[in-house]
């Protein structure tokens, strides 16, 4: 069974969607842990509620980047990680981690990439830009993580019409609903592939 580790920096609603999909059997995997760079966030409360291990690891707490990367790798090794799912994680994943888990790190972005992606485009900033540019549609994208922000291969997208009455918050709410549906499905597919390989 595929071991999944979620990286999150906020309230953890996508984390909750993954938890629910695992617990209901929609994802054939086990949630081994949560990595976060912030204490006292909603994602940690969700981890505690569901008896999921968590580790608070922030680059700012380490004297140099190499030490941070080593501890992060060690934690992922201890959890026997197969899949890393970024869910509102606002720290750049070290290159060494990306190389080690190539093709197995997923991210969900609240726009239709390649539009509104890259450094600085996260959270409400994305939706604000979409509304200001009077786009007719937006949505969310699940993609593989590479060294460049939001530039990895796109695996799936869900579209949402942008209403004339929308502001960043109302658009964000509708897109988030799609994120909660789309992300677990993509993670489930990756878990199935890993599980099939382990049976060979």
From 50, 109, 127, 180, active-site residue: 109
Given a contact cutoff of 8 angstroms between Cβ atoms, the answer to whether 70 and 52 are in contact is no
Q: Which of 72, 48, 50, 49 is nearest to 59 (CA)?
A: 72
Place of tokens 């700012």: 60
Closest CA to 154 of 115, 128, 188, 100: 115
Annotation says 109 is catalytic: yes
Is the separation of the CB atoms in 12 and 88 below 8 Å?
yes
Q: How many Å apart are CA 81 and CA 83, to the nearest integer? A: 6
Q: Would you please indicate which residues are annotated as catalytic (active-site) residues?
A: 109
């Amino acid at each position: 069974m595929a071991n999944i580790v979620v990286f999150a920096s906020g309230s953890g609603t996508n984390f909750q969607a993954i938890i629910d999909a695992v617990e209901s059997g929609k994802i054939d995997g086990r949630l081994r842990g949560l990595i976060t760079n912030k204490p006292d966030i909603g994602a940690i409360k969700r981890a505690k509620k569901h008896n999921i291990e968590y580790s608070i690891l922030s680059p700012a707490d380490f004297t140099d980047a190499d030490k941070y990367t080593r501890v992060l790798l060690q934690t992922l090794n201890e959890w026997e990680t197969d899949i890393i799912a970024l869910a509102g994680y606002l720290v750049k994943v070290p290159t060494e981690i990306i190389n080690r888990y190539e093709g197995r790190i997923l991210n969900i972005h609240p726009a239709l990439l390649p539009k509104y992606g890259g450094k600085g485009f996260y959270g409400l900033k994305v939706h604000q830009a979409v509304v200001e540019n009077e786009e007719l549609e937006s949505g969310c994208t699940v993609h593989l993580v590479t060294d460049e922000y939001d530039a990895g291969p796109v695996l799936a997208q869900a579209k949402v019409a942008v209403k004339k009455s929308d502001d960043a918050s109302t658009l964000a709410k509708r897109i988030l609903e799609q994120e909660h549906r789309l992300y677990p499905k993509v993670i489930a597919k990756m878990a199935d592939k890993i599980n099939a390989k382990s049976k060979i």
